[in-house]
Amino acid sequence: MKVDYSEMVEKGIFTFFVIRFLRNYYDTPNRYPELDKILQRTWLFVIPLFLLAGLPGMKFINDWYYEVFILVGAFLIYRARYNRNTRTLFTAVLPVVIMIFINTFFEFLFPSFYKEYEEIFGTAYGFSFFWMIGFGIYAHKQNKVEQTQRQKTEEERIRNEAKKQELEYQVAERTAELTKQKNELEETIAELRATQNQLVQAEKMASLGELTAGIAHEIQNPLNFVNNFSELSVELAKELQEELDREDQDKDLIVDLVSDLVQNQEKINHHGKRAASIVRGMLQHSRTSTGQKEETNMNDLADEYLRLSYHGLRAKDKTFNADFKTHLDPKVPKVNIIPQDFGRVLLNLFNNGFYAVQQKAKLGIDGYKPMVEVTTEFLEKEEEIVIKVRDNGTGIPESVRNKIFQPFFTTKPTGQGTGLGLSLAFDIITKGHGGVLEVNSTEGEGTEFVITIPVN
């Protein structure tokens, strides 16, 4: 029996292209390595079939090779029908499978009918075969497009993953940098707070230094009175002793002497209390505020610090000369305040007022009389106390009026102002006492600071 090798080569080429098609279609080398190994080993079964087909009695292998190959392939494709690409491929193979069963059915069961219409069956089989090839090529192209899309998607995913890792690295790097900056800022804030505390203390010490000379002058007056009246009291006591030792005592003289002694002691007591009040005010001003409010006579506090401010400036500059007045409302009740803090506010406002009139006096304006006034008023309906500190000095320019309560802002020359006085005064009045501190000023004419605090 002669073997048709050309037909075997044809079937071998068909098998080669089908296997190659399946490997490319499913991208088995990358996606299904195990399946790719099976497809590569398919030749281990195909080649023995070709050899067997050449043996006597094995012609049916050669006759049914295509059909068996396609059926086996269709069965495997059907088993994997849940994959979308496989369903498309199964659609290409299905008409050929159907025609194989139809041809086989009529060829064995109705051979006469099959021979009569063999050309029709052959044409239908050929059409289904070309359908399989054509649809397979179309499916292959579609699969190529999908593979390309999948490849692009994968590349995009890889790029996104790389970008994500890069962004995570940048975020981590930025977080570390921000953490470092945060730590540095916290250290800077701590240093600034320490510096602020030192500057506030320096401002307090500066105001205390300005008070020293004024206190010395103010305390000297009551001490002079105490000394003078005590000396007079000693003389009166000696006269009284001499009169009492006489046999013919003059009772009217004794009464006069005793009356003079009582008056002297009252004056000594009054001026002694005045000196004690000044010392107490100095101690309150110098010590750190405890934050405890005390019932305080606002009129006395304003009068005392006005005098201390004036005499302090006089002691620093002997050429300085100004007048000051008080307009104190007797109806002003005692109010709970922190005396040392409120005293610092008044002292700062008085010092600024005297400084302003001093600067204006240096301009040599004819008829100009420097004046600083303090006025207190009790508003019964509002239950508020209003304190006004007015001067007829240089005034505050409108361009800087909104800045005067800002920390470290000052209009004084370097070395003459810390820029903390009005800032601290504003905080003490508004935050410490729930009041209001306002300023009204006309450049070249004067300035008025208005303090308003609630009685309760």
Q: What is the CATH number of the domain that holds 294?
A: 3.30.565.10
Give domain status of residue 181, yes or no. no
Give domain status of residue 133, yes or no. yes
Taking each helix axis as running N to C, give the angle between helix 84-109 and helix 5-26, from 0 to 180 degrees, rounded to the nearest 10: 150
Task: Give the integer Cα–Cα distance in Å for 257 and 244.
Answer: 11
Angle, vertex CA 445, rays to CA 443 and CA 449, nearest 5: 80
User: Are 160 and 206 members of one domain?
Assistant: no
Look at residue 17 in the predicted model and tell me its pLDDT: 61
Task: Give the integer Cα–Cα distance in Å for 282 and 274.
Answer: 12
User: Are 333 and 439 members of one domain?
Assistant: yes
Residues of the chain with pLDDT under 70: 1-27, 35, 39, 43-89, 140, 196-218, 220-221, 277-291, 315, 407-421
Query: Into how many domains does the chain fold?
Result: 2
Encode pLDDT of 289-317 as tens digits: 556 788 889 998 898 888 878 877 776 77
Look at residue 443 in the predicted model and tell me its pLDDT: 87
DSSP annotation of 428: I
pTM: 0.47
Last residue of a domain, one of 139, 164, 189: 164
Give domain status of residue 191, yes or no. no
Contact 269, 263 (CB under 8 A): no
Look at residue 233 in the predicted model and tell me its pLDDT: 79
Contact 346, 372 (CB under 8 A): no
Look at residue 408 in the predicted model and tell me its pLDDT: 59
Task: Give the integer Cα–Cα distance in Å for 385 and 331.
Answer: 10
User: Are 329 and 425 members of one domain?
Assistant: yes
Look at residue 447 in the predicted model and tell me its pLDDT: 92
User: Are 298 and 347 members of one domain?
Assistant: yes
User: Are 64 and 208 members of one domain?
Assistant: no
What range does the domain containing 24 cover?
5-164
Look at residue 218 in the predicted model and tell me its pLDDT: 62
Contact 277, 304 (CB under 8 A): yes
Look at residue 322 in the predicted model and tell me its pLDDT: 87
User: Are 96 and 231 members of one domain?
Assistant: no
User: Are 151 and 235 members of one domain?
Assistant: no
Give domain status of residue 171, yes or no. no
Give whole-number Cα distances, 196 to 126, 178, 214, 391, in Å: 100, 26, 28, 30
User: Are 360 and 270 members of one domain?
Assistant: yes
User: Are 227 and 127 members of one domain?
Assistant: no
Give domain status of residue 172, yes or no. no
